[in-house]
């Protein structure tokens, strides 16, 4: 045993990594290549070997031998034999099936030397709709347009396809990065941002060009996308969560590249302009006149000669866009997210249709490097008033959660916290509109909901950024892709049950680096004590502590007595 080694590999496929010691950083970087980071609190980080994490590694070119060498290099103890077998088995599965285009006919073909595997696949009902048979029991012909669908079906059978069919280059576009932003600040990709771009592009080989980059909110995922755009240099379609986010993307591209207004188009509910770089919202792409009618704007995917499609907040990808993306496998695809967790468990669809995870950095690592703000998370448990206690006791499950979430005592706690942070830039975030409207009246503060016109939203966000407004009340429309760099206090009054995605995004609103490096970001979550609100908060709390954030729990009495830092 060598006690200075930081890794313990366990037979249940979990891997423990000690954070103290000189080998931590090297071991962390090695593990990130082939294992999934499960949690990263202060002293011990936990990773998990999964088929998907190993297929991600294989897709990036890693061999089983390289993975086992890394584990042996950093492990205190001998690697369990079942782990060695699992790594060899799963890595061996990737590439047994290869998908390519026949050069003479452009016919899509799945190929394998294993005739029994070909026979097994041909007899799978989930695969049969996408193939037309086999001429020689070594190849399977894939129907045109079903390149993505067949990959999805096969990964669910445990046989990921190595996609070597290549990409259409798209219409060329000259894209150059600025050395200095329009705002006057020097500009250049940070080390981890450049590594993200390089991992995605992979030198332009068939191993590159599709995949997901995972970086925390505030770490500059938009800049990574701009770096990819400047590397690929082609007409590009960028998909965003809403119109406000779309326009923030547009401003970032203009600020950091030499592209002009005339080269950028907006395809939203308000405008339908296609340009060499077109920014569209998921909402407009999934619009249809009737519930069962056709999607009116899916033609956008084919109307431009796109060489690259960028998916912002890829973990939110709507099911219809998943389906559309299945037919877009000839385009390079970059997904961006702060957390690849999908509450519907469709991470394997992201792998098949967008591409494998190409780059991931733990949140606390970037915090220590100063690229995102230092944050402290506090859960404040608040008693339900007696009258609400009775209503809660007799309510059904869903109504119980709403009563607990909208506890009127939370308004008084908000008042206390806002007074405590009157010199700070405060966001109050919630789920229920009636609750948010009551807060808006209480504080005479502006409110942004899904019904707020885009022009008004942009005006309020700008006023908050410039300091004209110090308190802003927002619904879940502000969960995603909103740039409010000076927000340093977030008060969450209600949320979507135990959603880990939502918790990550809401914390992300206050993680952008501050002009004053001494400013500590504070994330308060107000929870009704001894209710389902508290039960669901446990799941959200676990997510934050797994990311390594300090998480304190206080009662309302303690907070009013001044026992919160």
Q: Look up residue 354 and give its DSSP letter.
A: I
Rounded Cα distance, 143 and 105, in Å: 13
Phi, psi of 17 (to 5 degrees): -125, 120
The position carrying tokens 């956008």 is 300
Alpha helix (H) residue ranges in 94-220: 115-122, 147-156, 191-201
Neighbouring C-beta atoms of residue 34, cutoff 10 Å = 27
Rounded Cα distance, 41 and 432, in Å: 31
In this prediction, residue 316 carries a pLDDT of 74
Rg (CA), the chain: 25
Residue 112 to residues 100, 118, 120: CA-CA distances in angstroms?
A: 11, 7, 12
Assigned token pair, 29: 């970087």
Nearest to 537 by CA among 559, 557, 554, 520: 554
Rounded Cα distance, 473 and 172, in Å: 43
Q: Look up residue 98 and give its DSSP letter.
A: E
Is 484:458 a contact under the CB 8 Å cutoff?
no
Rounded Cα distance, 177 and 228, in Å: 11
Indicate the burial class of 551 (C-beta count within 10 angstroms; 0-12, 13-18, 19 or more): buried
Is 430:492 a contact under the CB 8 Å cutoff?
yes
Rounded Cα distance, 155 and 254, in Å: 39
Question: CB under 8 Å to 207, separation ≥6 — which residues?
Answer: 59, 60, 61
Using CA of residue 225, residue 228, residue 230, residue 236, what is the dihedral sign?
A: negative
Question: CB under 8 Å to 408, separation ≥6 — which residues?
Answer: 385, 388
Is 86:49 a contact under the CB 8 Å cutoff?
yes
Is 239:283 a contact under the CB 8 Å cutoff?
no
Report the residue count for the chain: 565
Give Cα 21 to chain centroid, integer Å. Answer: 30
Neighbouring C-beta atoms of residue 172, cutoff 10 Å = 13
In this prediction, residue 166 carries a pLDDT of 80
3-state SS assignment for residue 65:
helix
Rounded Cα distance, 324 and 320, in Å: 6
Rounded Cα distance, 243 and 249, in Å: 10
Question: CB under 8 Å to 344, separation ≥6 — which residues?
Answer: none
Indicate the burial class of 65 (C-beta count within 10 angstroms; 0-12, 13-18, 19 or more): exposed
In this prediction, residue 72 carries a pLDDT of 95
Rounded Cα distance, 408 and 438, in Å: 9
Question: How many helices (H) and strands (E) are present in the chain, helices listed first?
Answer: 22, 23
Indicate the burial class of 167 (C-beta count within 10 angstroms; 0-12, 13-18, 19 or more): buried
Rounded Cα distance, 79 and 90, in Å: 16
Q: Calculate the dihedral angle through the C-alpha atoms of 480, 481, 483, 489, rounding to the nearest 10 degrees.
A: 20
For the entire predicted model, the pTM comes to: 0.77
Domains parsed from the chain with CATH numbers: 7-93 (no CATH), 97-163 (3.30.780), 191-361 (3.40.50.300), 367-560 (3.40.50.300)
Alpha helix (H) residue ranges in 326-468: 347-349, 363-368, 386-394, 397-405, 409-420, 433-443, 454-466
Question: CB under 8 Å to 29, separation ≥6 — which residues?
Answer: none
Rounded Cα distance, 277 and 238, in Å: 8
Residues of the chain falling short of pLDDT 70: 1-2, 206-207, 341-346, 478-485, 497-505, 508, 513-519, 539-550, 564-565
pLDDT in tens, 131-144: 998 999 999 999 98
């Amino acid at each position: 045993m060598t006690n200075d080694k930081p890794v313990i590999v366990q037979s249940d496929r979990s891997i423990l990594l000690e954070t103290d010691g000189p080998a931590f950083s090297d071991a962390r970087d090695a593990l990130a290549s082939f294992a999934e980071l499960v949690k990263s609190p202060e002293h011990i980080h936990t990773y998990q070997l999964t088929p998907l994490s190993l297929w991600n590694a294989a897709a990036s070119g890693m061999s089983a031998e390289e993975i086992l060498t890394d584990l042996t290099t950093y492990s205190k103890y001998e690697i369990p034999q079942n782990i060695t077998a699992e790594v060899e088995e799963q890595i061996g599965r990737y590439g047994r099936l290869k998908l390519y285009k026949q050069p003479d006919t452009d016919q899509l073909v799945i190929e394998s030397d294993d005739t029994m595997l070909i026979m097994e696949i041909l007899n799978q009902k989930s695969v049969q709709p996408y193939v037309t048979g086999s001429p020689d029991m070594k190849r399977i012909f894939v129907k045109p347009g079903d390149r993505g669908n067949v990959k999805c079906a096969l990964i669910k059978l445990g046989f990921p396809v190595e996609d070597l069919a290549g990409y259409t280059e798209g219409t060329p576009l000259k894209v150059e990065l600025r050395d200095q932003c329009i705002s006057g600040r020097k500009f250049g990709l940070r080390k981890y941002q450049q590594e993200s771009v390089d991992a995605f592009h992979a030198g332009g080989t068939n191993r590159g060009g599709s995949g997901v980059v995972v970086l925390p909110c505030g770490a500059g995922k938009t800049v990574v996308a701009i770096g990819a755009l400047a590397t690929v240099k082609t007409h590009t379609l960028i998909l965003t969560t809403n119109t406000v986010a779309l326009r923030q993307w547009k401003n970032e591209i203009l600020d950091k590249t030499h592209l002009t207004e005339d080269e950028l188009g907006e395809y939203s509910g308000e405008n339908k302009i296609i340009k060499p770089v077109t920014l569209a919202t998921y909402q407009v792409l999934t619009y249809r006149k009737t519930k069962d009618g056709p999607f009116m704007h899916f033609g956008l995917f084919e109307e431009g000669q796109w060489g690259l499609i960028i998916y912002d907040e890829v973990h939110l990808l709507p099911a219809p866009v998943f389906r559309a993306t299945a037919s877009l496998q000839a385009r390079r695809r970059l997904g961006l997210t702060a957390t690849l967790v999908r509450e519907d468990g469709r991470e394997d669809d992201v792998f098949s249709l967008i591409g494998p995870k190409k780059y991931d950095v733990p949140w606390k690592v970037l915090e220590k490097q100063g690229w995102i703000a230092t944050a402290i998370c506090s859960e404040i448990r608040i008693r339900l008033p007696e009258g609400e206690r009775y209503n809660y006791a007799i309510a059904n499950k869903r109504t119980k959660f709403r009563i607990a979430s909208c506890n009127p005592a939370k308004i008084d706690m908000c008042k206390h916290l806002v007074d405590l942070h009157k010199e700070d830039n405060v966001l109050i975030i919630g789920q229920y509109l009636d609750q948010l409207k009551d807060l808006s009246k209480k504080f005479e503060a502006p409110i942004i909901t899904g019904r707020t016109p885009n022009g008004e939203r942009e005006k309020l966000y700008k006023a908050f950024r410039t300091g004209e407004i110090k308190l802003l009340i927002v619904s879940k429309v502000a969960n995603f892709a909103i740039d409010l760099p000076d927000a340093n206090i977030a008060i969450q009054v209600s949320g979507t049950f135990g959603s880990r995605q939502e918790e990550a995004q809401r914390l992300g609103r206050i993680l952008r680096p501050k002009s004053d490096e001494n400013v500590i970001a504070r994330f308060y979550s107000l929870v009704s004590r001894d209710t389902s609100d508290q039960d669901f908060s446990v799941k959200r709390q676990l997510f934050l502590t797994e990311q390594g954030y300090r998480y304190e729990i206080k009662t309302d009495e303690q907070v009013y007595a001044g026992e919160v830092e």
